[in-house]
């Protein structure tokens, strides 16, 4: 039997981030195609996600909006490795969700549309990666279509995200006239061959440079000039800088026609670090071969109305996960039976019997389990919690029909636990009119939709003028409670939050009362 450490060395766990429409879904399909997890009919991911929406009520909202809110996990073999691909919601309003998913990833692939470069939502998502210091690979997609100049794109990425861009492949032919790519590591030229919508792997024809120079003529000369320029500025791939999240190895391609996908997937295997010993709350790394442990990075309820249950997604950090083992739920110390462990893709589930560090397990009916919780076996361990994002939108929710108040309360508590929105309560008003707080307003749409569809409790929202939240403590809360333009509320875990209408007002208060405790939350002000 292999050890957890040797199994971990075969794992690559990463996420794809992109602005909607840049090609995340297409690239995911193609990864599956190259991983042999899809038959030649690529497109099954879309077909599957279509089915998923059809069987799921609240995900109807995803269909209406054409966005992805839920995230899922895909596992497939590639070469001698096991790849865990964590899906992230594309819309920046759900960047807190992305942040949690990235807590479970060892790297990310950023997909850019060659015609658009860095788009606002990519920037927000990238900020999230930066906060987690995640190594980042960049894929410049849609090179088969007219787009920006390759060097300009590199410049734009460097200036907008402040990472050194180290192109690993370089295109021959401008965007829209894609001839192929030169691999800067060995100088090999791979010619681009168009396949109908990329239903099969792209044929890879390696062409001798002397032949390519003649056949590709001006496009070849232009690429050589650009490569000379890149060499002169030393934009070479450096694994250490990549792992240290200071540079991003960059690839050109076209996910639709599969071109460049294999090189990218190979880079995931060759460059992305395998899971390592994860530091606990005290910074002490837990050995991969220690008994089982993991932490929950996402909780999702009612993914499938016919199940009406609640799934906690756990990333395994150490040891072997054996379905059926009874583990301890860290925060409560209660035993937790893992009999119902699944691999989850939307509403589709497969029982998972064994898992190793880097893998993701979906634990069904995980009542009481929240995002950030540690589960362990044998030796106790506690992993750092996942910090919550600074909300920037605040609205008061009230149930429309007071006869549905019980359902409303239950629904609000559920959404709070899942982290769909953050819920702040006023000690005096109790649960009557909780304040919902979000990073992006679309989170409110999801909350309203779910309260109505799942809990039968239609609500009315009253927007407020609050824009900033700070964590505070009881003495400061007392001092603040009499002040103008501030409101102090509490979260379910007892944390006190002070809300302010403007940065100016907050700064004035800080100046006038320097002894007040007003702590920032993560991702403050990056909502751009
Ligand atoms: P997303 O998940 O990031 O939102 O993007 P998705 O993969 O759904 O791709 C968005 C659109 O871009 C799709 O077209 C897709 O076919 C197209 N696309 C993705 N990669 C490439 C590429 O490399 N080259 C070209 N030319 N197009 C690409 P659509 O018209 O919206 O959908 P569909 O009808 O083609 O499925």
For residue range 428-471, what is the model confidence (pLDDT) as tens digits? 777 889 999 998 888 899 899 989 988 999 999 999 999 999 99
- Of residues 127 and 437, which shows the higher confidence score? 437
Q: How many secondary structure helices (H) and strands (E) does the chain include?
A: 14, 30
pLDDT at residue 199, as a whole number: 65
Give pTM, 2 decimals.
0.85
Percent of the chain with pLDDT over 90: 59
List C-alpha distances in Å: 196 to 41, 199, 227, 256, 369.
11, 7, 30, 9, 46
Q: Hey, whose CA ends up nearest to atom 9 of ligand 1?
A: 23
- Whichever domain contains 159, its CATH number is 3.40.50.300
In a domain, 524, yes or no: no
Asked if 66 and 120 sit in the same domain, the reply is yes
Query: Given 245, 271, 297, which residue is the final one in a domain?
Result: 271
Ligand 1 pocket residue status of 11, Cβ below 6 Å? no
* 169 alpha carbon – ligand 1 mean position (Å): 22
Asked if 428 and 360 sit in the same domain, the reply is no
pLDDT at residue 47, as a whole number: 41
In a domain, 446, yes or no: yes
pLDDT at residue 220, as a whole number: 96
Q: Which atom of ligand 1 lies closest to the CA of 18?
A: 3
- Whichever domain contains 413, its CATH number is 3.30.70.3280
pLDDT at 224 over 90: yes
* 1 alpha carbon – ligand 1 mean position (Å): 43
Asked if 369 and 320 sit in the same domain, the reply is yes
- Beginning with the edge strand found earlier in the chain, give each strand of the sheet holding 310-318 in spatial order: 334-337, 326-329, 374-376, 293-301, 310-318, 360-364, 341-345, 348-351
In a domain, 304, yes or no: yes
Asked if 46 and 139 sit in the same domain, the reply is yes
Asked if 472 and 353 sit in the same domain, the reply is no
Q: Which atom of ligand 1 lies closest to the CA of 22?
A: 3
pLDDT at 81 over 80: yes
pLDDT at 144 over 90: yes
The values of phi and psi at residue 86, to 5°, are: -95, 125
Ligand 1 pocket residue status of 25, Cβ below 6 Å? yes
In a domain, 24, yes or no: yes
* 110 alpha carbon – ligand 1 mean position (Å): 15
In a domain, 326, yes or no: yes
Query: Given 325, 342, 376, which residue is the final one in a domain?
Result: 376
- How does residue 53 score in pLDDT terms, banded at 50, 70 and 90? very low
For residue range 255-310, what is the model confidence (pLDDT) as tens digits? 998 899 999 999 999 999 999 999 999 999 999 999 999 999 988 876 556 656 77
Task: Tell me the Cα Rg of the chain.
Answer: 24
Q: What is the mean pLDDT of the segment spanning 70-93?
A: 81
Query: Given 376, 410, 431, which residue is the final one in a domain?
Result: 376
Contact 296, 313 (CB under 8 A): yes
Contact 166, 238 (CB under 8 A): yes
In a domain, 1, yes or no: no
Asked if 246 and 341 sit in the same domain, the reply is no
In a domain, 357, yes or no: yes
Give the number of residues written for the chain: 528
pLDDT at residue 418, as a whole number: 83
* 26 alpha carbon – ligand 1 mean position (Å): 6
pLDDT at 82 over 90: yes
- How does residue 179 score in pLDDT terms, banded at 50, 70 and 90? very high
Tell me the helix, strand and coil percentages in the chain, rounded to 5: 30, 30, 40
pLDDT at residue 296, as a whole number: 95
Contact 116, 25 (CB under 8 A): no
Asked if 239 and 204 sit in the same domain, the reply is yes
Assigned token pair, 253: 């391609």
Total domain count, the chain: 3
The values of phi and psi at residue 348, to 5°, are: -90, 135
Residue 26 contacts by C-beta under 8 Å, 6 or more apart in sequence? 141, 255, 256
Ligand 1 pocket residue status of 91, Cβ below 6 Å? no
Asked if 330 and 436 sit in the same domain, the reply is no
In a domain, 517, yes or no: no
pLDDT at 52 over 80: no
- Range in 85-94, 205-214, 256-265 with the lowest mean pLDDT: 85-94
- Residue-range definition of the domain harbouring residue 505: 393-512
DSSP 522: B
Show the CA angle centred on residue 419, arms to residues 417 and 420, nearest 5°: 115
Asked if 216 and 356 sit in the same domain, the reply is no
Q: Which atom of ligand 1 lies closest to the CA of 253?
A: 23
pLDDT at residue 202, as a whole number: 72
* 172 alpha carbon – ligand 1 mean position (Å): 22
pLDDT at 176 over 80: yes
pLDDT at residue 346, as a whole number: 54
Ligand 1 pocket residue status of 122, Cβ below 6 Å? no
* 449 alpha carbon – ligand 1 mean position (Å): 28
Q: How many other β-carbons are positioned within 10 Å of the β-carbon of residue 80?
A: 7
Asked if 419 and 401 sit in the same domain, the reply is yes
Sheet strands (E) in 365-458: 374-376, 393-399, 422-426, 430-438
């Amino acid at each position: 039997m292999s050890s957890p450490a040797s199994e971990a060395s075969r794992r690559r766990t990463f996420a794809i981030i992109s602005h909607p429409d840049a090609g995340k879904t297409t690239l995911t399909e193609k990864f599956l195609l190259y991983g042999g997890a899809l038959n030649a009919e690529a497109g099954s991911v879309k077909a599957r996600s279509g089915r998923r929406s059809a069987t799921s009520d609240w995900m109807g909202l995803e269909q209406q909006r054409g966005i992805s809110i839920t995230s899922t996990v895909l596992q497939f073999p590639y070469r001698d490795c096991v790849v865990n691909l964590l899906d992230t919601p594309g819309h920046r309003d759900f960047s807190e969700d992305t942040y949690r998913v990235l807590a479970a990833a060892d790297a990310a692939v950023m997909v850019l549309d060659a015609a658009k470069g860095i788009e606002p939502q990519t920037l927000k998502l990238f900020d999230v990666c930066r906060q987690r210091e995640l190594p980042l690979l960049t894929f410049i997609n849609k090179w088969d279509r007219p787009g920006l100049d390759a060097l300009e794109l590199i410049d734009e990425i460097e200036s907008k995200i402040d990472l050194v861009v180290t192109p690993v492949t370089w295109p021959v032919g401008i965007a829209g006239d894609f001839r192929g790519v030169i691999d800067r590591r060995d100088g090999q030229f791979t010619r681009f061959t168009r396949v109908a919508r990329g239903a099969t792997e792209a044929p890879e024809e390696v062409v001798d440079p002397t032949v390519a120079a003649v056949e590709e003529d001006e496009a070849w000369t232009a690429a050589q000039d650009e490569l000379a320029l890149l060499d002169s500025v030393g934009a070479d791939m450096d694994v250490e800088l990549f792992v240290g999240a200071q540079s991003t190895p960059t690839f050109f391609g076209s996910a639709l026609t599969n071109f460049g996908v294999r090189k990218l997937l190979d880079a995931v295997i060759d460059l992305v670090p395998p899971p390592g010993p994860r530091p606990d709350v005290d910074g002490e790394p837990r050995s991969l071969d220690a008994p089982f442990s993991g932490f929950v990075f996402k909780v999702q309820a009612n993914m499938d109305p016919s199940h009406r249950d609640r799934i906690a997604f756990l990333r395994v950090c150490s040891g072997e996960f054996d379905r059926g083992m009874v583990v301890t739920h860290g925060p409560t110390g209660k035993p937790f039976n893992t009999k119902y462990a699944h691999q989850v893709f939307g509403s589709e589930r497969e029982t998972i019997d064994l898992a190793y560090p880097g893998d993701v397990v979906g634990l069904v009916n995980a009542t009481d389990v929240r995002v950030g919780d540690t589960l362990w076996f044998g030796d106790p361990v506690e992993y750092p919690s996942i910090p919550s994002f600074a909300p920037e939108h605040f609205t008061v929710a009230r149930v429309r029909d007071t006869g549905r108040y019980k359902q409303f309360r239950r629904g609000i508590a559920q959404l709070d636990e899942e982290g769909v929105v953050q819920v702040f309560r006023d000690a005096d008003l109790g649960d009557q009119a909780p304040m919902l707080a979000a990073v992006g307003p679309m989170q409110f749409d999801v909350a309203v939709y779910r309260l109505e569809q799942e809990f039968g409790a239609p609500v009315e929202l009253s927007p407020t003028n609050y824009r900033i939240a700070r964590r505070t403590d009881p003495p400061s809360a007392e001092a603040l409670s009499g002040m103008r333009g501030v409101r102090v509320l509490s979260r379910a875990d007892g944390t006190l939050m002070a809300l302010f209408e403007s940065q100016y007002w907050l700064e004035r208060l800080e100046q006038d009362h320097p002894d007040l405790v007003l702590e920032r939350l993560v991702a403050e002000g990056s909502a751009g």
